[in-house]
């Protein structure tokens, strides 16, 4: 059984993605993701843990930033779940990471490897980046949809940096190079990856 805090968050995430995502490939990916999530995975027994960069969470999740009802609900349900998350720094390649990156970001899986719900097919999590920090360029095989919850810039492939804004979204096709960069405010973004073949 999923704890109520997790099922409430996943319901809110499904609604928030549905209200804000327009890219057809992202919509299709989210459909696969939330269909798979109708079958719960194994719950983690590991207690939640913060790291120092989580000091930026309070500012990033202030409800005053969120006018849209689906985003407010997302943030409210996230706040209830957050104490159970295992926040970690990124592991792996740090190409083009900005100065101070290592101590100034935190990622948490909500479902997926290391998440509250352990599973391999769907990865949903949150990234928090302290002000004025560039996240490294990275790629991964699973396709990914971001729902952006703060100011901050994003980059995909050979494209220029752009700012989706609060409630903006972007779709990363499998393997595309991407990165993000906070400005004067912390950057907060929810991501959802489909880690199974499309024909499954």
Chain contacts with Fe ion (rule: CB under 5 A): 144
9 within 8 A of 169, measured Cβ to Cβ: no
Taking the complex as a whole, the smallest distance from the CB of residue 87 to Fe ion amounts, in Å, to: 17
34/154 with CB nearer Fe ion: 154
Query: For Fe ion, which residue has the nearest CB?
Result: 144
Give which of 70, 74, 91, 94 is closest to 82, Cα–Cα. 74
Question: CA 167, 159, 144 angle in degrees (round to 5)?
Answer: 50
Taking the complex as a whole, the smallest distance from the CB of residue 120 to Fe ion amounts, in Å, to: 17
Can you read off the two tokens belonging to residue 158? 């050979």
72/90 with CB nearer Fe ion: 90
Residues sharing a CB contact under 8 Å with residue 51, sequence separation 6 or more, in sequence order: 87, 88, 89, 106
15/177 with CB nearer Fe ion: 177
59/90 with CB nearer Fe ion: 90
State how far the alpha carbon of 1 is from the alpha carbons of 44, 68, 156, in Å: 12, 30, 37
Taking the complex as a whole, the smallest distance from the CB of residue 72 to Fe ion amounts, in Å, to: 25
Can you read off the two tokens belonging to residue 185? 């405010």
Taking the complex as a whole, the smallest distance from the CB of residue 140 to Fe ion amounts, in Å, to: 6
Largest CA distance in the chain: 44
Taking the complex as a whole, the smallest distance from the CB of residue 15 to Fe ion amounts, in Å, to: 22
73/148 with CB nearer Fe ion: 148
């Amino acid at each position: 059984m999923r704890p109520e805090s997790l099922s409430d968050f996943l319901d809110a995430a499904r609604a928030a993605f549905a209200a804000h995502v327009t890219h057809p490939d992202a919509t299709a990916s989210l459909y696969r993701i939330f269909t798979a999530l109708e079958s719960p995975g194994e719950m983690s027994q590991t207690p939640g843990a913060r790291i120092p960069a989580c000091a930026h969470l309070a500012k990033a999740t202030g409800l005053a930033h969120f006018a849209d009802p689906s985003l407010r609900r997302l943030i409210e349900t996230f706040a209830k779940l957050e104490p159970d998350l295992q926040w970690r720094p990124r592991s792996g390649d740090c190409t083009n990471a900005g100065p101070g990156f290592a101590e100034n970001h935190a990622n948490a899986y909500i479902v997926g490897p290391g998440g509250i719900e352990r599973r391999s097919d769907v990865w949903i999590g949150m990234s928090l980046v302290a002000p004025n920090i560039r996240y490294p360029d990275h790629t991964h095989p699973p396709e990914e949809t971001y729902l952006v919850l703060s100011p901050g810039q994003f980059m995909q492939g050979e494209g220029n940096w752009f700012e989706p804004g609060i409630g903006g979204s972007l779709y990363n096709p499998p393997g595309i190079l991407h990165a993000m960069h906070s400005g004067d405010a912390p950057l907060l973004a929810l991501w959802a990856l489909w880690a199974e073949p499309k024909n499954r």
